[in-house]
Amino acid sequence: MKKILIANRGEIALRAIRACRKNGLTSVAVYSTADAASPHVFAADEAYCIGPPAPRESYLVGDNLIETAAASGCDGVYPGYGFLAENADFADECARRGLVFIGPSGQAIRQMGDKAHARETARRLGVPVVPGSPGAYESLDAARAAAGEVGFPMLIKASAGGGGRGMRVARSADEFDDVFTQANAEAQAAFGNGELYLERYFDRVRHIEIQVFADRHGNAQHLWERDCSVQRRHQKLVEEAPSPVLDNTVRKEMAEAALAIVTGIGYENAGTVEFIYDMESRKFFFIEMNTRIQVEHPVTEMFTNTDLVSEQLRVAAGKRLRLPRLKRLPRGAFIEWRICAEDPSDRFMPSVGRITSIARPAGPSLRFDTHAYPGYDVPPYYDSMIGKLIVGGDNRKAAIDRSRHALRTLDIGGIKTTTSFHLDLIDHQDFIDSAIYTRWVEERLRA
């Protein structure tokens, strides 16, 4: 590969462009008319407008992206996360047109990106799974019949895609129809696929994910875990590496289970295997696999001293893995704080408008990934995340103390951000004591 189309926007597009430059590759950006002044447009070697602001008319139009790649002489396509990153048809069409899709094959995306198929695959490979429906449904009648077998409370979630979109909890049969209909509409709008999977819901669990990587030469490895239990309505707010609640026995079992899936399906490139973990029973259950790089990959990069995006490019080019073999947990602790253009004091409503100033924290073991700048207009059409603040220390307490200072220093003028929420969270005793669970924010903070 010599020239890469970056089929995304914002922070991840900038991240991919930097990785291309580091690896001697030419980068080609795409942008909607709303993103004409976004930094990734100017950072890339070339840039092309692909349509109006609405994602379904720009970033989700796979044919236009492929035509742009072909017309500009690209030989690879980097999807990042979101949009078409887990679209198997898009991956297949890239391959059919002679473009390297920098991710897993379309077959792997279908097998593991579809939550119902992924569950059956995990079960076949001996990995414990959460009880759920045998398939995915668009028909309310068919789903209603399956719901009785799964039981309540129930998690209804989009079979294709992630990020909390198309995901709802139905606590009884009485509310099932309304919840299913809402999730179906949201999944259709976000992913172009309204199929929904039904899964038994657990009220108080941790959300743990294992970063995995594999090449086409049969090499596969993990880079330990991230704890993503601080969530609001299934959207992750904070991630930590390592998890503060796992002991080494469970940690190794979970990592080995993730690798069993990767090797069992012949997976290639970056992926994340996600589990829920019940702290009382110390049991974990597979819930899904994300067949792409994650939003929160920087916290693993900081923790393991790696460059996962560069490794994606290398593996897609047919090279062997060169990630470090981490037989033991690395020293230190890192926390990633998602900075979103939202107002925590007003039910996390989006805060669009012009950023007037940015004061950035600086120091050792600190990283701030963002595409925002003074004068940048936050558009209303896309995800609200405008940055990720990653802070580390010799241990979790040190990482928290350093994070507190960094969050106080970070000041983004002109809009509201979730920084204020993080400053409240960081001093809450439950967070300090690692007593958080996935619904803690809604139940304890009523947010």
- N-terminal to C-terminal alpha carbon distance within the chain: 46
Catalytic site residue 15? Answer: no
Burial 70-95 (b: 16+ CB within 10 A, else e): eebebbbbbbbbbbbbbbbebbbbbe
Given the structure tokens 């409240």, which residue do they identify? Answer: 424
Distances (CA, A) of 260 to 45, 193, 214, 367: 40, 28, 12, 32
Give the whole-angstrom CA distance, residue 446 versus residue 426: 17
Before 153, cis peptide (omega within 30)?
A: yes
Would you tell me how many other CB atoms lie within 10 Å of the CB of residue 112? 25
Active site residue: 119, 206, 232, 292, which one? 292
Given the structure tokens 């409503």, which residue do they identify? Answer: 349
DSSP letter string, 124-189: HTT--B--EEEEEES-HHHHHHHHHHH-SSEEEEESS--TTTTEEEE-SHHHHHHHHHHHHHHHHH
Give the whole-angstrom CA distance, residue 96 versus residue 90: 10
Give the whole-angstrom CA distance, residue 113 versus residue 228: 19
Give the whole-angstrom CA distance, residue 394 versus residue 396: 7
Contact 301, 113 (CB under 8 A): no
Q: Which residues are catalytic?
A: 292
